[in-house]
Amino acid sequence: MRLAIGYICALILLLTLSTVAVGKDMPAGESAAPEHIVFLTLHADSTGISLVRARSVEGILKERRDSSQRGEIYYEVESRDGSVLAHGSVNNPLEKRLEYEDPYEPGRLRSKLVSLQETDFVVRIAHRIEIESISFYRIDKSNGKLTVDRGNLLGKIRLNLESEMER
């Protein structure tokens, strides 16, 4: 008897979840277009940030908690009319923190900040047809607060996602 009740509950749960996943607000016979994530491979050097490649894959971009205040570089994804569609931050790709075991004190970790002359890095954004560009700014932490230094534009990249996209 318990087994039968368990199966019935599992079946009800499965049917409920499949209804939610399909989208109960959609007309019969229509399915939602799959969402896409755009992987922007970017190049950073002393002159700024430039686009290497844009690639779209099917999937849903997970939101990072408080991502606009984590890194040293702030970005804004902008539409044709200049409105901000999305924003976030990344760590400075030209600075890498290396951790290693102290050779004189085994078991103890040491870290060292290494500055790079140039490197490639990836930023993920949700694909939206309204996207026109992405701008990168340095975050100023000098006054104890995190503020975007709009006078320090590291790069503004025009994105024509339909023509630049690798699939």
Residue 23 has pLDDT above 50, yes or no: no
Q: Evaluate if residue 19 carries a pLDDT over 70.
A: no
CA distance 50 to 37: 19
pLDDT of residue 84: 95
**Do β-strands 95-101 and 165-166 pair in parallel, antiparallel, or remain unpaired?**
unpaired
* Cβ contacts of 74 within 8 Å, gap of 6 or more: 68, 87, 88, 89, 136, 137, 138, 139, 148
Q: Using CA atoms, how far apart are residues 126 and 166, in angstroms rounded to an integer? A: 15
* pLDDT attached to residue 28: 47
Three-state secondary structure call for residue 54: strand
Q: How confident is the model at residue 12 (pLDDT cuts 50, 70, 90)?
A: low
pTM of this prediction?
Answer: 0.70
> Are 121 and 94 contacting, i.e. CB atoms less than 8 angstroms apart?
no
| Measured distance CA(26)–CA(19) in Å, rounded | 11
Find out whether 108 and 126 touch, Cβ atoms under 8 Å.
no
| Residue 37: both structure tokens together | 């994530």
DSSP for residue 16: H
Confidence (pLDDT) at 78: 95
